[in-house]
Amino acid sequence: MKKAKEKKILRLIKIQIVLLLIVVGGFSYYYLGGYARQVSQLKNEAISIVKHSNANTFRQIETSEVYDANGNTISVLKGEKDVYYLPYKDIPQEFTDAIVSIEDKKFFKHSGVDYKAIARAAFAMIKDGEVKQGGSTITQQLARTMFLSNEKTWQRKVEEIYIASEMEKKYSKEQILEFYLNNVYFANGYYGIQAAAKGYFSKDANQLDLSEICYILAIPNSPTFYDPVINPDNTIARRNRILKAMLKDEKISESTYNGAVNEEINLSRSTSLKNNYVETYVYYCATRNLMKRDGFEFKTDFRTQEAKANYEKAYEEAYNNWNRSLFTSGYRIYTTIDINMQNQLQSAIDTKLAEFTDVNEEGIYTLQSAAVCLDNETGMTKAIVGGRSQDVTGYTLNRAFQSYRQPGSSIKPLLVYTPVLERGLTPDSKVMDVKQPNGPENSTGTYSGEITLREAVAQSKNTVAWQLYEQLTPEAGMQYLKALEFSHIEKDDYGMAACLGGFTVGVSPLEMAKGYCTIYNDGNMREPDCILKITDSAGNILYEAKQEPKEVYKENAARMMTDMLQSVVTDGTAKSIDLGEMPCAGKTGTTNKNRDGWFVGYTKYYTTSVWVGYDTPKKLPSLKGSSYPAAIWQEYMVGIHEGLLPAEFKKPIEFIGTEEQQEEPAEEEEQQGIFDEENPGEDYQVITQTFDGNRVPEGAIPENATDVQVTTTTEQVEQQ
């Protein structure tokens, strides 16, 4: 018994010695490693920052400006704090109750820092190897918003703690809540609850009901993810969590909770904010360029879902941080946007769709269109339209880069035809337009048998695209879209339906313009952008455009693709297109039940992508790629090419063909195939003839040929 007691005492002594050594080691590491000096400096900086602040500090803002390609002002970016600043006495009680319940339940008890929350966050960081929990109080969030960046380093966190502690000594709890609610960011350029109330509901903050209050207070936690314009469902979900927190904290009754959580939210934004497609795109590009300047690495390809989720989280945090800075940092943003071209593109869309007057509950036209125009020489954006223009209240969605739709056959040149041209086929290669088992049908119900690849492209033969893609393999074909950095390539897209435009999410008009611009530029891709440079208010350059082309397709394959796309316009599904003497190339696309229509095409000067359809997909019998999209494209391109000299495209270096191939027909079993990857050019006939100095395919394309549709066994889409 005595020995057991002695052993227990000895064990306790050993534990105390170990703990003492850990403490001594920790202090030694802290002081000898220089951390003590750094922490002391951070503390002194925090004291100085708060000491030199006053109530006016939280009203100050520096205005940023955006200029078009000609140096004219497009917009002025400011948070309008002075105009919309609300003193504490004018802030409805529901705002403070709600924000405290969801963000900082101990706000009125702590002295600026919740050390238990920080300990939990630190433990999570040690456990997971990264910062996942903030542990920040409202005071700390205010300190970060006003005086610090959002970077997740221990130095920033320490300084944030010291600033928060000093602020609590200088300002009352009511002042801190006032500062916070007037400075927090609510997305779309709105700073503070009054600006958000005006911006989203066209009301004063004191006119909002509880559900609307919690709705806008849902946004600051992640202004991109909870953006009511782009992600209204996410905003509603967080509103409900805030209401639940208020109910749990007994700030509201159960009946009040039930009424608020079931209330339908209807945004009402002022007409001055409508259809500002240039501005939303400019802000997007400027934000991403500031992220790039700060070292952020953009990705579109991920090995695991976890890697994708981690990236999206990091992206969102960085995007929110730099997007906020646009409205407060006094930037001068110079763009490539040509307002005249922008107005022409908007006019073409509005004019060609004028007969469709149906609107939804918010007064927005149900039939919509989006289009993008790129400068082929620079790869930069000249015009971007995200929808039809109208003078009504409602939200603005820039469909040109924020919406993703099924591309129909307009995807074939990017995913099927240019890749197989790299593998030995030519525009004159003979292929078989025949019904394949489990393959697509032509909408006409007829098949042409042996035709040239040029004819297959011109007439949008789905049977040929299917056979080619099957032999190319979806894995190989999809690598080209990944190289083009299309943002929504999903696991389920690695199937045959993709070659006909059947995707899980889809593509944007901006991405399609980028893809076709890449074909024009001999297979070299440049990421579309509209920012030439960004400076501070003193003129110091913060960012300057440096476009680095990346090879996606081989030069000769791209030139042959352009050569074939000219046949689409002269003899194929888009033969109604007429730019006079200006050579052009392009491709139509129409999806199942005429839900989406596309025309994407280019001249030597510009590439323009046009989409037409409903926000909620539904059938429009008269919608085809060759109808409204092609008409919009033609009207716009005719206008912007006035005064420009007709310019021919670069010719392919060579067409591959031999006399032996021309004279000896392939065996029947070989004719059924399209090409042999190991021996390209040997499983089909190549027949060429010369006309006007150029080689062209033998035979004529039927004059009455039209787009064709397909039904796939994968239930995806019928395409043209």
For the domain that residue 238 is a member of, what is the CATH number?
1.10.3810.10
Is there a domain that residue 212 lies in? yes
CATH classification at residue 431: 3.40.710.10
- In the listed set 268, 286, 303, which residue is the last one of a domain according to the structure? 268
Name the domain boundary from 268, 294, 317: 268
Do residues 568 and 422 both lie within one domain?
yes
Q: Residues with Cβ < 8 Å from 606, sequence gap 6 or more?
A: 373, 374, 375, 376, 382, 637, 640, 641
Any domain includes 328: no
Determine the pLDDT at residue 145: 85
Helix, strand or coil, per DSSP, at residue 541: strand
User: Do residues 259 and 342 share a domain?
Assistant: no
Strand ranges (DSSP E) for 545-616? Answer: 550-551, 585-590, 596-602, 606-614
- Give me the pLDDT at residue 675, please: 39
For residue 94, is it within any domain? yes
303 lies in some domain:
no
Query: Quick one: which H or E segment has residue 87?
Result: none
Q: What is residue 711's predicted lDDT score, i.e. its pLDDT?
A: 32
Give a yes or no: residue 325 inside a domain. no
Boundaries of domain holding 29: 2-33
C-alpha 499/C-alpha 477 separation (Å) is 8
E-strand ranges in 177-230 read none
Instruction: Supply the pTM of this predicted model.
Output: 0.71
Supply the DSSP symbol for 227. -
DSSP conformational letter for 531: E
E strands, 274-352, are: 332-335
Distance CA 678, CA 181 (A): 66
Residue 381 lies in a domain: yes
7 in the same domain as 53: no
- Cα–Cα distance for residue pair 236/705, rounded to 1 Å: 50
Q: State the amino acid at position 305 in one-letter form.
A: Q
Range list of H helices, 393-490: 399-402, 412, 418-422, 453-458, 462-472, 474-483
Ranges of the chain with pLDDT below 70: 1-8, 10, 12, 14, 16-35, 60, 78-83, 118, 120-135, 149-152, 270-275, 392-395, 443-444, 654-720
Residue whose tokens read 């003492």: 20
Cα–Cα distance for residue pair 158/45, rounded to 1 Å? 11
Is residue 6 domain-shared with residue 104, that is, in the same domain?
Answer: no
Distance CA 612, CA 625 (A): 8
d(CA 620, CA 592) in angstroms, rounded, equals 10
Backbone φ and ψ of 570, nearest 5°: -85, -35
- Say yes or no: 18 and 127 in one domain: no
Going by C-alpha positions, the residue among 531, 177, 529 that lies closest to residue 381 is 529
What is the rounded distance in angstroms from the CA atom of residue 584 to the CA atom of residue 562? 9
Element of type H or E holding 380:
none
Last residue of one domain, picked from the residues 222, 252, 268: 268
Residues in the chain: 720
Q: On the CB side of 614, how many CA atoms lie within 13 Å of its CA?
A: 16
Measured from the Cβ of residue 163, the count of other Cβ atoms closer than 10 Å reads: 27
Structure token digits, residue 709: 């549709």
Residue 435 lies in a domain: yes
Q: How many domains does the chain have?
A: 3
Burial track 85-110 (b if 16+ CB lie within 10 A, e otherwise): bbebeebbebbbbbbbbbbbbebeeb
Handedness of CA 393, 388, 590, 621 (dihedral sign): positive
For 429, list phi and psi in degrees, rounded to 5.
-60, 140
Same domain, 380 and 520: yes
- Could you tell me if 573 and 471 lie in one domain? yes
> Are 19 and 132 part of one and the same domain?
no
Q: Nearest-CA neighbor of 708 among 446, 455, 454?
A: 446
Predicted local distance difference test score (pLDDT) of residue 604: 98
**Cβ contacts of 620 within 8 Å, gap of 6 or more:** 367, 594, 595, 613, 614
State the pLDDT at residue 694: 35
170 found inside a domain: yes
pLDDT in tens, 353-371: 999 999 988 788 999 999 9
Same domain for 239 and 342, yes or no, is: no
Contact between residue 494 and residue 475 where contact means Cβ atoms under 8 Å apart: yes
> Which structure tokens are listed for 383?
């015009």
* Closest among 85, 109, 119 to 198, alpha carbons compared: 85
Question: Could you tell me if 89 and 136 lie in one domain?
Answer: yes
> What's the rounded Cα separation, in Å, for the pair 162 and 144?
11
Q: Are residues 443 and 483 in the same domain?
A: yes
Residues 44-79 as b/e (b if ≥16 CB within 10 A, e otherwise) read eebeebbeebeeeebeebeebbbbbbeeeebbebbb
Cα dihedral sign, 78-80-82-87 = negative
Q: State the CB neighbour count (10 A cutoff) for residue 711.
A: 16
**Same structural domain for residues 9 and 136?**
no
